[in-house]
Chain A
Amino acid sequence: MAGAGGGGCPAGGNDFQWCFSQVKGAIDEDVAEADIISTVEFNYSGDLLATGDKGGRVVIFQREQENKGRTHSRGEYNVYSTFQSHEPEFDYLKSLEIEEKINKIRWLPQQNAAHFLLSTNDKTIKLWKISERDKRAEGYNLKDEDGRLRDPFRITALRVPILKPMDLMVEASPRRIFANAHTYHINSISVNSDHETYLSADDLRINLWHLEITDRSFNIVDIKPANMEELTEVITAAEFHPHQCNVLVYSSSKGTIRLCDMRSSALCDRHAKFFEEPEDPSSRSFFSEIISSISDVKFSHSGRYMMTRDYLSVKVWDLNMEGRPVETHQVHEYLRSKLCSLYENDCIFDKFECCWNGSDSAIMTGSYNNFFRMFDRNTRRDVTLEASRENSKPRACLKPRKVCTGGKRKKDEISVDSLDFNKKILHTAWHPMESIIAVAATNNLYIFQDKIN
């Protein structure tokens, strides 16, 4: 099928041919801080796509039914609901402002017509119910159409109210607020496979909540030393196992992952498994620890593997092998010689996320210059793509990008020194079943689809 894609659609890289589908967000160069997207998450069916931003807002997109309208649209995502999840708060006790930025959104599995999601900022987690209303009742007996109560003595006949269609209204209402359980900044939330509990993790502690109970939570991991002078490590991410409701993992700033079994004890300070790759002595530097700090950890859908993202690479671990990862994928190794400058401008502390595709055959993560990387675990091929307005013609295929590390720069390559480190893709999401990806580039959300699919 060589050349079937037409000009500009190389079949190199993966078997996928990613094409632009949609972009959401303002176009102008001046980006308002509040509009910067801070989290992206598909729900379990992939029909809903939620984003959170620094202004504390959540925007949910819904995929259009494919049988409606144009057949080639393959289901576009349109705004379904927008609401203010968190407001800036002031902690009077500490004289500190609490940012309203949404750090994470996690969907709950759908159990009825309504949708539920958890959203969190640095301190407070909220459970939101998103429900539709497309009918209203008319013909009440005790009140008029405009709501005024009717005098009961005047009623001479009874009627049965009838339901009439109305314009679809999507309502978001906060059903639970889980507050006051975290001294430090929440970096992760994860819904358990039992669908009743979830965890929230901050720099030093992990708490277990029941979705119905807001006034207490159980602390299951606490790495705060008795003497804060001895603090050398913090928790960076945590997640529940997708199938085993007693298993969770958490990653650290030292590049280690601990797997805990809640059945072994109430407090999971002692891990059941400890994952760490021995340091390569030839690449040791002052920045070794910083670049080994894990910014994201994700179980595979199968539950057999987990993936970790550190500054320069993505690693896939077999849960049965603690000594080293089974796969290591370099994201932007050309940055290794620039670490000092990246330390200086604080980019070395950027926290990139990573995600699996539905079948666990591919993984994706972001980079700088609005580049994002995909790795096919079966074919061992990888590709660098770019989310930009220039490549935003409808159904235009994305051309693989290449960074030139030295010597002669070929045409269409970009040199390391020309990369824009302000354009970072930290948050990406992959549809749980189909070849659709969502990529957050600052204040814009790009949606790409695989042409072949």
Chain B
Amino acid sequence: MLSKGLKRKREEEEKKEEEGLSVDSWWLDQGHPAAAQTPPPVASSSLFDLSVLKLHHSLRQGEPDLRHLVLVVNTLRRIQESMEPTTSLPPVSMPPTAPSVADSLLASSDAALSASMASLLEDLNHIEDLNQVPQPQADEGPPGRSVGGVPPNLGALDLLGPATGCLLDDGLEGLFEDIDTSMYDSELWVPASEGLKPGPENGPAKEETPELDEAELDYLMDVLVGTQALERPPGPGR
């Protein structure tokens, strides 16, 4: 009766723990005065990760539950907006793929489409997992909520940025040969530095590289939900 499908370490962890729910205040809207009084949020990024995970899971269904999908995407958008309060974003359009893929899945059941989407989602998941490796404190944690005071990854926005750059440098390019890496080669990306690790003293938003603009964010969302992958012409490796 609980979430089905995607198995996550978190679920196993929670089953071992008692069923109790924790009180959260960190998800309160940053703009709200009450939020200033509560401990600064460790992460909208955890919530962002969780929402991305849910989005993936939803899209993987043969026939996604539209209500669930729409609510998750809207929540994701809200979180994304709150993570960059400094940049004034125009109303971010719905991640182009989510419902269009859902709709096209509904309409045409293009097996190749869903297969390539699924493989991209796999890659993204793999990236998330790999991203955890350099942080030994978080090795038991699934992408998302950090344990104790461990600086969490910034979530999906980080995945394709500096961290991925590190992975590339480590010679794991083979993993990404199917993916257009022009994004990572872009000089707009600030290489991994301490400045990007969110300290507990500030909201994660302030640590975001200020060079990120709307187009980059849109691109990120696209990649996350697979549009870019689908629109690219097949590379030489395919």
Q: Which residues of A contact B (CB under 8 A)?
A: 93-97, 183-185, 203-204, 227-234, 236, 253, 281-282, 284-287, 289-290, 293, 337-347, 349, 416-422, 424
Contacts and interface: CB of A to CB of B under 8 A. Distances in A.
Contacts of A203: 66-67
Interface string B76-119: 00110010000000000111100110110111110100000000
Interface stretch (B25-33, B147-155, B171-179, B205-213): B25-33
B65 interface: yes
A345 to B, nearest CB: 5
B228 interface: no
Given A229-B93, A419-B19, 13 more contacts: A97-B62, A184-B66, A184-B106, A185-B63, A228-B99, A228-B103, A232-B70, A285-B29, A286-B27, A338-B22, A418-B19, A420-B19, A422-B2
A338 B24 contact: yes
Chain B interface main SS type:
helix
A346 B2 contact: yes
Given A253-B71, A286-B78, A346-B3, A417 B21 contact: yes
Contact of A338 (B21, B78, B93, B94): B21
A345 B2 contact: yes
Given A94-B109, A95-B111, A339-B24, A290 B100 contact: no
Given A94-B106, A344-B50, A417-B19, A289 B74 contact: yes
Given A341-B24, A349-B71, A417-B20, A229 B100 contact: yes
Nearest to B18: A417
A297 to B, nearest CB: 14
B23 A337 contact: yes
B21 A96 contact: no
A73 B223 CA distance: 65
Contact of A293 (B50, B63, B71, B102): B71
26 contacts: A94-B63, A95-B62, A185-B63, A185-B65, A185-B66, A227-B100, A228-B99, A229-B96, A229-B100, A230-B94, A232-B74, A233-B70, A253-B67, A284-B28, A285-B27, A286-B78, A286-B79, A293-B67, A338-B24, A340-B47, A341-B21, A341-B24, A344-B50, A349-B67, A419-B19, A421-B19
A344 B50 CA distance: 7
A231 B47 contact: no
B68 interface: yes
B125 interface: no
B75 interface: yes
A232 B73 CA distance: 8
A291 to B, nearest CB: 10
B63 A96 contact: yes
Interface residues of B, number: 50
Contact of B62 (A96, A284, A339, A419): A96
* Residue from B1, B14, B19, B65 whose CB has the most chain A CB atoms within 10 Å: B1
A194 to B, nearest CB: 30
Contacts of B20: 417-418
Contacts of B106: 94, 183-184
A251 to B, nearest CB: 11
B24 A230 contact: no
A282 B37 CA distance: 14
A284 B70 contact: no
Contacts of B14: 345
A229 B109 CA distance: 18
A232 B93 CA distance: 10
Nearest to B25: A337
Contacts of B28: 284-285
Contacts of A346: 2-3, 54
